[in-house]
Structure formats: structure tokens, C-alpha cells
Amino acid sequence: MNANSKPVTKMGLCVHPISELAREAVIRLKSLASDRAIEIIELGTESHGPLDFSCEIVASIGGDGTLLNAVRNAYPSDIPVWGINVGDLGYLTISSVEEMGRSLDLLSKGEYWIENRTMIEATVTGEDGRDIRLTAFNDIVVHRHVPKGGMIVLDVELDGRFLGSYEADGLIFSTPTGSTGYNLSAGGSILSPNLPAFIITPICAHSFSARSLVVDDSSVLLVKPKIKALGDVVLITSDGQEIAQLDKCSLRGGTDDPVGCEVEIRRAVRRVGLVRFNEVFFFDVMRDKLGWADGHPKHRNR
């Protein structure tokens, strides 16, 4: 842990689009930042791609969803993200509104450090041969188009070897950071955020034998979806915010294998940075957020 970083003089800002608490926090943040000669540049609520100005960090005011949007803005330019929580849960956001003044003091002095987290990347190949690349902080999900109904079959290869076929609503490919998100809701394991691993978790699988798997994050995964009926669409989502689709996949039970219509999933080349002011013990956060110690006295680390 290195708490000697570049002093912050310019900060990008992503804000929850409808939260009144977030709007109130923005007013306070701007006032506190002005007192410390920190310039604020608002990024809005949509992804803007690479930032074209010299921000040292991007601040996110909202919950984890707002932070995911901030990562989409900051990641292409390799800028770290500071999460300020105004919601109820917040696994990724680390600062409260009440702590903003002290945190801005530390930022202005360079007394913070950056924790790097793994990103996951999907390359979607369609029948026209063109590739679409999606990068995610939490997860890549390959799933059926809900209005069409019916499960899909997902054939998965791991490092060039056949892993298995999943008949399900979809598959979640999660980073350790994302293990507390959609993956957890679907019954996947919680991973310590710095483990070099990905989790593959089926969504409402047809077979009880289809279980969540943990694989090395150096693995390359190839997913080949098969649909129920002509016209069905397979969707690929990145952190639930960016979407690509495959609409010419082979039919379940068919023998044809169209060129393309597959998704390659691997670890992204770079990691994303999260601003930290002190060491965060991950399982302290889990115990508090998930109520593991409800009804018991608080335990102190020895």
C-alpha cells in the first residue's frame, strides 16, 4: 500500500441520474472541492469513452451502479475512480457523504493509494465477421432475449477444450469484484477481490448438475450459443450497461455451425484503479453488508 500519490487538482464527476441524495451530495462536494482548489468536471450519466482532459481521478456519487458507469468513463484513459455512497448497500463505494471533506483533504495532498482490480473482456463475432468488444468491471453475461422465451444452449470451451453445454437462461462470467453482484444473486460464490480467477455461473439452469465454476483468469473462454427457434436473439451484456447481440445462431439440436456467432471471453489487458484512503479488509465489508454477525458483538481484528 502506497499512500503517496499525485495530488488531485482536477476531478471528473459521475452522478446517479435521479437520486435526490446524490444531487445534494454534489452541491456539498463542489463547495468542499472549491475550498481545496480542486476543479470539478461533470461527466453526466452516459458513457463518453476516453476522457479528453487531465483528470487525476473520477468521483462517483450514488451506488455501485453509478460507480460502474464511472468506470466506463474512466477506464479507457486509465484514470482511477473514487466511490461515494449515498445508497443502502454499496459493495464498491468506500466513502460516505459525511467523509467527503476529510477525503478531499487527503486527495489534495496526495495521501491516497490505488487498488487495482481485474477487468473482463468479451469479443463478440457476428456472421458479418466484424468484432464488437465489451469490457466489464463486474461481469459479462450471455443470455436469452427475454421476450422470446425459452432457454438457450451455451456450449463452452476452456482454453480450446470443450468444457460443457449449459441449457439455461444464460451464463454469468464474473470477475472477483463482480462476485457480489449478479453472480451472488444467481448462487455463485463470493471471491476475495484480488484472486486471479473468474466465476462461471449458470442462470436458472435446466439441470441440477450445472453448478458455478471458478477458473483461472488467464483462461480463454469461448461461448457458442444455440437458440430455440429462428428469429431468437442472444444478448451479451457488460455490467448490465452495454449490450451486443447475436441473431444468426444455430438451432438447438441442429448440426449446422454458422461462421462467427460466438463470444470469446478473457481477462482485459489493463486493470481498473479504485481510490483508497486506508486498507479495506474485504470480509469486514461482507460481514457488515450481508449481516453475518447480526445478533453478535462486534469483533475486533487482532
pLDDT one-digit tens code per residue, 45-78: 555 555 656 789 999 999 888 999 999 889 999 9
pLDDT at 174: 98
Q: How much is the pLDDT for 43? A: 82
**129, 260 contact by CB (below 8 A):** yes
User: Which one of 3.10.20.340, 2.60.200.30, 3.40.50.920, 3.40.50.1000 gives the CATH number of domain 120-267?
Assistant: 2.60.200.30
Span(s) in the chain for CATH 2.60.200.30: 120-267
Residue by residue, DSSP assigns 112-161 as -EEEEE--EEEEEE-TTS-EEEEEESSEEEEEE-GGG-S-EEEEEEETTE
Provide the pLDDT for residue 302.
44
Q: Say which residue the cell 451530495 belongs to.
A: 25
pTM value? 0.88
DSSP string, 35-89: HTT-EEEEEESS---S--S--SEEEEEESHHHHHHHHHHHGGGT--EEEEE-SS-
Contact indicator for 82, 275 with CB cutoff of 8 Å: yes
Question: Residue 196 class from Cβ within 10 Å (0-12 exposed, 13-18 middle, 19+ buried)?
Answer: exposed
pLDDT of residue 298: 55
pLDDT at 38: 96
C-alpha–C-alpha distance, residues 257 and 224, integer Å? 9
Pick the closest to residue 31 from 105, 109, 101, 107 (CA basis).
Answer: 101
**pLDDT score for 112:** 94
- The whole-angstrom separation of Cα 202 and Cα 225 is 13
CATH topology for 10-118+271-290? Rossmann fold (3.40.50)
Instruction: Give me the pLDDT at residue 102, please.
Output: 95
| Pair type for strands 213-216 and 197-203 | antiparallel
> Which portions of the chain are predicted below pLDDT 70?
1-3, 44-53, 88-89, 126-129, 146-149, 253-260, 281, 283, 289, 293-302
CATH 3.40.50.10330 domain range(s) in the chain: 10-118+271-290
Burial of 189 (0-12, 13-18, 19+ CB in 10 A): middle
Task: Return the bridge partners of 264, or none.
Answer: 123, 222
The residues near 219 (Cβ < 8 Å, ≥ 6 apart) are 158, 159, 198, 266
Residue 255 confidence (pLDDT):
59
Which positions are annotated as active-site residues?
64
- DSSP 8-class letter at 185: H
**Predicted pLDDT of residue 248:** 73
The dihedral formed by the CA atoms of 62, 68, 69 and 75, expressed in degrees to the nearest 10:
130
